[in-house]
Amino acid sequence: MQAGTPEKTATITRMSESRLLRVASYSLIINIGLVLTKLGLSIITGSLALRADGIHSFVDVIMSVALIVGILISSRKSRQYPYGLYKVENIVSIVIAFLVFLTAYEIVIEALSTEGMYVPYGGWVLAVVALIIPVPYLLGAYEVRVGKKYFSPSLIADGKQHKVDVLTSSIVFFALIGQYLGYPLDHVAAIIIAIFVFHSGWGILKDSMRTLLDASVDYPTLDRIRSIIRSDPMVKNIVSVTGRSSGRYIFVEAIVTLTESDFDKAHHASERIEGKIREQVPNVDRVLIHYEPEEATHLRYAVPLQDRDGTVSPHFGDAPYFAFIDFNAAAGRFEKQEIIPNEAREEDRRKGILVAKMLLAHRPDIVLTRKPISEKGPECVLQAANIEVRETGAETVAAIIRQVEQGLQDGKASEEP
C-alpha cells in the first residue's frame, strides 16, 4: 500500500481517534476528582472563589463528556454526510465556550450580590489547594500537545481551558491565605477568576467559529502545499490553492496547469501530487486537483552546440554548449535565443543524466539532437518531465529557426525541424 493513500489515511484516523479517546477519558477522571476536592473544601472554608473554581471544574467535566461524544461521532461518514461529521468537534467546542461564559457570569453575579462568610479552617486546607494547583496545568499541556499532533480542536480547547485553571487555582490559593489571615479577598478573587474564565471561552469560540465559517487553512500550511505541488516536474503553473478545516481535518483543492495534454498521464500526475500532499501534510482528509493542459503560446527548443557560432553538436553529454531557442507559437515567429556552457561536460560519471537535469531547470518543451541519445537515463529524465526528444537533420541554429518558423506558420508545429 502506497504512502498517502486513502486506506492508509483511514488507518491513521482510527489510531488517532483511539488516542484522543484515551486522553479525553483521562481528562474526565481527573476533572471529577478536582470537582469533588474543590467543592468539598469550599464547604469547609465557605470560600466563594473556591466554590467558583469547583463549579468551573464541573464545567470541565461536562466538557470532557462532550469531548468524548464529539470524537466518537465526528469521524463517522454516511450517504447523508459523505464528508463526515468532522465539524461536530467544532460545534462541541462552541457549546463548551458558552458554558464557560455562563460560569463566568454566575461567579460575578454572586460575588457582587452577596457578602463573604468567614469560616475558620486549618492550614491543611491551604496545603491541599497548593498540591492540586499544578494538576490542571499538566493535564492541559498534555491535551494541547496531543490535540495539535492529531489536529483535534476540541481537545486543544479542553487543554487550553485546563491551563487557565492553574491561574484561577493560584488566585484561589492566595485568596484563601488572605481569608486565613483575616483579609476579605475572597469575592475579589472570584471576580478575577471570572475574567480569566471569560477570556478562555472567547478564545475557544473564536477558533471554532473560524472553522464553521470555512475560514482558510493557515498560510504556512498552504505554502507547504504549494511547494509540494510545484516540485512535481509536470506542473507548469499553480493557478490557485485553497484549504479549509473541518474539525481536525483539512480539505485541499488546487487548480494547476500541467505540461501534459494526454489525459491518462495528466491523471496520473494529479494522483501523484495528491499522494505527496497526503504523505507530507498531517490530517489531510481530501485532496482535489483540477488540472488543465498548458496553452502552447510559446515553445522553447534546447539544442546541443559544437561552438557559440551555432553549429549543432553530434553529441549530447559531451556538447560544449546548449542553445535555448524561444518561439512565439501563436504568431509563428522566432523570439530569442540563449547559449550557455555545458557545466556537466567534464564529469566522468552520469554525465548524460546531469545534462538532462540541467536542461530541466530551463524548462524546454523539445530537445533536439543530431543522433539518438546513446544512454537511456537522460531520455527517461526528460520524458518524465514531459519534454519531447527529437532528432534533427539541421546543422545550424539558423536552419532550425527557419524550419520551426515555417512549421508554425503552416500550422505544423509538431513536425520535426
**268-277: average pLDDT:** 89
Q: Please, what sign has the CA dihedral across residues 248, 249, 254, 260?
A: positive
pLDDT at 413: 44
Pick the CATH number of 6-212 from 3.40.228.10, 2.40.30.10, 1.20.1510.10, 3.40.50.10490: 1.20.1510.10
Higher pLDDT, 71 or 389: 389
CA within 13 Å, CB half, 155: 30
Confidence of residue 2 (pLDDT cuts 50, 70, 90): very low
**288-293: average pLDDT:** 80
Whole-model pTM above 0.85?
no
- Amino acid 355 reads V
pLDDT at 225: 92
pLDDT at 381: 87
CB distance 385 to 360 below 8 Å: yes
Domain chopping of the chain, boundaries: 6-212, 219-293, 298-409
Helix (H, G, I), strand (E, B) or coil at 407: helix
Confidence of residue 144 (pLDDT cuts 50, 70, 90): confident
pLDDT at 401: 92
State the Cα–Cα distance between residues 283 and 187, nearest whole angstrom.
45
Grid cell 494547476 — which residue? 256
Its CATH class, for the domain covering 298-409, is: alpha beta
Q: How many CB atoms lie within 10 A of CB 193?
A: 29
| 219-293 CATH | 3.30.70.1350
The domains spanning 6-212 and 298-409 adopt the same CATH topology: no
pLDDT at 15: 53
What nine digits make up the cell of 65?
A: 463528556
- Amino acid 340 reads I
Q: What is the CA radius of gyration of the chain?
A: 33
CB proximity list for 364: less than 8 A, separation 6 or greater: 300, 301, 302, 324, 387
pLDDT at 12: 44
